[in-house]
Amino acid sequence: MVWFNPFFPSPQRDNGYDVSDYYGIDPAMGTMADLEELVAALDSKGIGVMLDMVLNHTSTEHEWFQRALAGERDYQDYYYLRPAAPDGGLPNNWVSKFGGPAWERFGNTDQYYLHLYDRTQADLNWHNPRVREELAAVVRFWRDKGVRGFRFDVINVIGKPWELPSAPSGVDDRTMYTDGESVVGYLRELAAASYGAAGESITVGEMSSTSIERCIAYSHPQLGALSMVFNFHHLKVDYVDGRKWTKTPFDFLELKRLLTDWSLQMQVGGGWNAWFWNNHDQPRAVDRFADPLRYPAESATMLATAIHLLRGTPYVYMGEEIGMTDPRYSAIDEYVDVEAINAYAELVRSGVGPAEAFDIVRSKARDNARTPMQWDAGPNAGFSSGTPWLRPTNHESVNVAAEESAGRILPYYRHLIRLRKTHPIIAEGQVESFALEHPQVFGYIRRLGGESLLVLTNFYGDPTAVDILPEFITGSVLISNYGRSRAPLTSRCQLRPYEALAILTTSHEEI
């Protein structure tokens, strides 16, 4: 499937995640006829379309919000409107994920509306059955267009308690509205009214600040309502004390622990992970976890191997399959994302020097992943003859044309995808942990029937060695990013910088 970020009409305050009309296509992106052609063209190649459903909030330019502002009571009940607190302060102490309080004055009234994201993204009141019916109708509309995949944006924050209580002092306010008890019920209702039972659509929920236990509940084939879930814990291992706008080298052992725990515990509980290193909200993983300057191909292919052979469904984000990196910008005004702009201002206000604040923003900004797709070495990376919203900076060397002719990353991704289709052990096998204490190697074992697969990835630019089980010494190499054709033949397996290796064995007893 191809997942598209939202292309619905939007004032684009948050890159289309501020939807002003769920039933249209933003004229800047195309037309409904284009969408229909896209669905049909991909379908003819056996590829489905996954749309991004932003159902936690609408743009304040959405008709519902505008009618609420105009005084229509029915539409005011679509949102969370609250009077000021008795002391005259804001209705509660929640903060916006994009900075500042989560409340904004509702027009000229003495009420406030809740916005967990930008102040132009008003949270929808899922307690209201009419809201839930409206949103199900939206999903049905796109299903009727032949869309069979849905990604649900920040879907685990739709179950807020009606009272919207302030977080007690010392408690993270996110815990007050995240993973509420009602989320699973709302999703099951939505499934019944729109996207259908398992198998009728492929669905993935974006889960912010969640837990394994809740994600099992969301994605369990019988108890849950989604095919799979995205969690973000493994992408916070380079945060200081859980805070994004900080800079520190990543904690490798913590990364391994998270990938392993989420794999094993979701397996035990019957949940299903969606695995990814990159998306439109994350700086490029090659810059965070590897070395795209000294080892561009090894870095990209090692990271891909680490998640593509795991239990779960891997996602490839635009450009990672050719090794795209963060842009090399040198001034803050090159960044356009509302979150980055707010974060920079906030850092400077809190006393961080401008150079350090810029360095932090440069390493964490979502714009890092939003530069145009690099098709070729020409102007604007061959993406557009217009002026792109962000400037590509290394398309002379990193581009699709170069990868197609002599690259090592794109063919490797194709190989990984083919392997998942041809080797059931990758899609269906059980997963076991491996070498949890090793300071450089992330590895795991997959098993299905009489087959076993050992996956080894060296996350560093220094060579290392790891002891492997005897059964793998003479196995066959399933994939290698160093072109190895033979298994190590010794129990001590040497790995080169950013090397990835997968060895497959078949036990004769079980054939």
Applying CB under 6 A, the site for ligand GLC has a residue count of: 9
Residues 180 to 219 in contact with ligand GLC, rule: CB under 6 A:
206
Position 114 contacts ligand GLC (CB under 6 A): no
Q: Do residues 199 and 284 lie in contact, with contact meaning Cβ atoms separated by under 8 Å?
A: no
CB of 277 to ligand GLC, least distance (A): 15
> Interface mask (CB under 6 A) for ligand GLC, residues 115-134, using x and -?
--x-----------------
Pick the closer one to ligand GLC by CB: 207 or 400: 207
> Interface mask (CB under 6 A) for ligand GLC, residues 392-431, using x and -?
----------------------------------------
Position 326 contacts ligand GLC (CB under 6 A): no
Residue written as token pair 């539409």: 75
When CB distances to ligand GLC are compared, the closest residue is: 17
Q: Do residues 275 and 317 lie in contact, with contact meaning Cβ atoms separated by under 8 Å?
A: no
Position 367 contacts ligand GLC (CB under 6 A): no
Q: Do residues 173 and 93 lie in contact, with contact meaning Cβ atoms separated by under 8 Å?
A: yes
Give the 3-state secondary structure of residue 371: coil
* Residue 206 among the catalytic residues: yes
Position 154 contacts ligand GLC (CB under 6 A): yes
Q: How far apart are the C-alpha atoms of 396 and 377, rounded to whole Å?
A: 4
Pick the closer one to ligand GLC by CB: 226 or 466: 226
CB of 222 to ligand GLC, least distance (A): 28
Nearest to 323 by CA among 409, 241, 405, 447: 409
Nearest to 4 by CA among 373, 403, 284, 379: 373
Nearest to 58 by CA among 3, 105, 100, 17: 17
In degrees and rounded to multiples of 5, residue 477 shows phi and psi of -80, 120
Position 337 contacts ligand GLC (CB under 6 A): no
Q: Do residues 374 and 383 lie in contact, with contact meaning Cβ atoms separated by under 8 Å?
A: yes
CB of 431 to ligand GLC, least distance (A): 27
Q: What is the DSSP letter of 166?
A: P
Q: Among residues 18, 206, 339, 403, which one is catalytic?
A: 206
Give the 3-state secondary structure of residue 213: helix
Helix, strand, coil share of the chain (percent; to 5): 35, 20, 50
Q: Do residues 261 and 212 lie in contact, with contact meaning Cβ atoms separated by under 8 Å?
A: yes
Position 54 contacts ligand GLC (CB under 6 A): yes
Pick the closer one to ligand GLC by CB: 17 or 434: 17
* Residue 153 among the catalytic residues: yes
- The residue within the footprint of ligand GLC, chosen from 17, 276, 289, 442 (CB under 6 A), is 17
Pick the closer one to ligand GLC by CB: 153 or 320: 153
Q: How far apart are the C-alpha atoms of 441 and 502, rounded to whole Å?
A: 13
Q: Among residues 26, 123, 153, 337, which one is catalytic?
A: 153
| Active-site amino acid positions | 153, 206
Residues near ligand GLC (CB under 6 A) are 14, 17, 54, 117, 153-154, 206, 280-281
